[in-house]
């Protein structure tokens, strides 16, 4: 499955969240990661993040089982080399 993760977490939690996400996904910009995961990897990722986040933190996942139907468009400063979607 193709996953996009965005987060808004406490400053003390931010480094921990980034380290976990970097193990599974590509860092796109400040609080955004994306990549392809198996359902098992997705489950493990959520478990790891749950251990380091609190009720005040926000971690959102957007996912699709068919990445060919996802389109990404950017404005201004966009690093096209990080675009891993298939057109």
Question: Where along the chain do its domains lie?
Answer: 2-82
Nearest to residue 22, comparing CAs of 7, 10, 12?
7
Whether residue 57 is annotated as binding a ligand: the answer is: no
* pLDDT for residue 21: 96
The strand ranges marked E within the chain are: 2-8, 26-29, 32-36, 58-64
Query: For the whole model, what pTM was predicted?
Result: 0.78
Query: How far apart are the C-alpha atoms of 52 and 33, rounded to whole Å?
Result: 17
pLDDT category of residue 61 using cuts at 50, 70 and 90? very high
Q: What is the pLDDT of residues 3-53, one digit of tens each?
A: 999 999 989 999 999 999 999 999 998 999 999 999 999 999 999 999 999
Q: What CATH number has the domain spanning 2-82?
A: 3.30.70.240
Q: What is the pLDDT of residues 70-86, one digit of tens each?
A: 766 666 555 554 444 44
Query: How far apart are the C-alpha atoms of 77 and 75, rounded to whole Å?
Result: 6
């Amino acid at each position: 499955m193709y996953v996009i993760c965005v987060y808004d977490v406490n400053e003390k939690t931010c480094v921990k969240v980034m380290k976990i996400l970097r193990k599974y996904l590509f860092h796109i910009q400040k609080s955004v990661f994306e990549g392809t995961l198996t359902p098992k990897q997705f489950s493990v990722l959520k478990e790891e993040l749950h251990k380091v986040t609190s009720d005040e933190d926000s971690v959102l996942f957007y996912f699709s089982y068919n990445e060919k139907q996802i389109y990404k468009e950017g404005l201004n400063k966009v690093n096209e080399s990080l675009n891993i979607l298939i057109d």
